[in-house]
Amino acid sequence: MKENFLLEISVESLGAAVAAERAGAARVELCSNLQEGGVTPAPDLLRQVRAALKIPLFSIIRPRAGDFVYDESELTAMIAEIAEAKEIGADGVVLGVLRRDNSVDVRRTKELVDSADPLPVTFHRAFDRTKDFLQALEDVIAAGARRLLTSGGADTVPGGLPILLQLLEAAAERIIVMPGRGLNAGNFAAVRHALPAREFHSGLGTVLPYDNSDFTRFEAEIRAMLRPT
């Protein structure tokens, strides 16, 4: 099998970001509070990580944990956070806005995408809360996002393979569909064989050190995921 894929790793600390790069990750997504799905990292942390990494760095833009229905003050805050991420030197941003019925809010998402320009936008796993995935895919494309992070609506990518295959086929070359959630060294080879995706996303929270001191297991897991099959 030809090995031609990119692995993005989500992290919430400088140490984890540096370890991910050292282990061979192609891109880092920086968040705070990953236990709640990730929120916008503090500017100082973003600056530190940007200064330390050579690989591309994406920043999540999410003003709070919880749902993805935002009021005007929260959307204004997200625009300010995007501007700060651009000023610091992020290579992309990760975001998503839904309506109260959990459909994609195309208008508001497009406002954020326009604000991020020229940085690429990844529409994150808010997508997995939508009810009609193929329609939601069209909405994300219409909003101008370059990537879609999704588990196919399942708890993990292996459980969402049928939907992910549909999404990848429907997306064609219009947007990058990036499977992510629950990927690890134990299942990644099988997922890569099953899905014609070019990019994948993993957090590997189960092998992160509690005290952010020893990233040996974390690095070993990434290297194992990147090993040719």
Q: What is the pLDDT of residues 170-179, one digit of tens each?
A: 999 999 999 9
Q: How confident is the model at residue 70 (pLDDT cuts 50, 70, 90)?
A: very high
Alpha carbon distance 179, 170 (integer Å): 14
Model pLDDT, residue 3: 62
In a domain, residue 55? The reply is: yes
Mean pLDDT of 51-57: 98
Residue 53 resides in a domain: yes
Average pLDDT score over residue span 196-220: 88
Q: What is the mean pLDDT of the chain?
A: 95
Specify whether the CB–CB gap between 25 and 220 falls below 8 A: no
How confident is the model over 115-129, as a mean pLDDT?
A: 97
Decide if pLDDT at 47 tops 50. yes
- Stronger pLDDT, 67 or 213, i.e. the higher one: 67
214-220 mean pLDDT: 94
Check residue 2 and give its pLDDT.
45
The whole-number pLDDT of residue 208 equals 80
Beta-ladder partners of 123:
95, 148
> Is 191 part of a structural domain of the chain?
yes
Using alpha carbons only, what angle is made at residue 187 by residues 181 and 190, rounded to the nearest 5 degrees? 115
pLDDT band with cut points at 50, 70 and 90 for residue 4:
confident
**Mean pLDDT in residue range 194-205:** 95
pLDDT reading at 163 higher than 60:
yes
CATH code assigned at 79: 3.20.20.380
Q: 200-213 as b/e, with b when 16 or more CB fall inside 10 Å?
A: bbbbbeebbeeeee
Residue 1 has a pLDDT of: 37
Could you say which DSSP state residue 64 is in? Answer: S
pTM summary value: 0.95
Give the per-residue pLDDT at 37: 85
Which residues does residue 219 pair with via DSSP β-bridges, in sequence order?
A: none
Q: Evaluate whether residue 201 is within a structural domain.
A: yes
- Of 27-41, 94-108, 172-186, 200-214, minimum mean pLDDT range: 200-214
Does residue 206 surpass a pLDDT of 90? Answer: no
Q: What are the angstrom distances between the C-alpha of 145 and each of 55, 136, 174?
A: 21, 12, 10
* 1 assigned to some structural domain: no
Count of the separate structural domains present in the chain: 1
Pairing of strands 176-179, 92-95: unpaired
Domain that holds residue 138: 6-226
Q: Which of 110, 128, 222, 118 lies closest to 177, judged by CA?
A: 128
SS3 of residue 226 by DSSP: helix
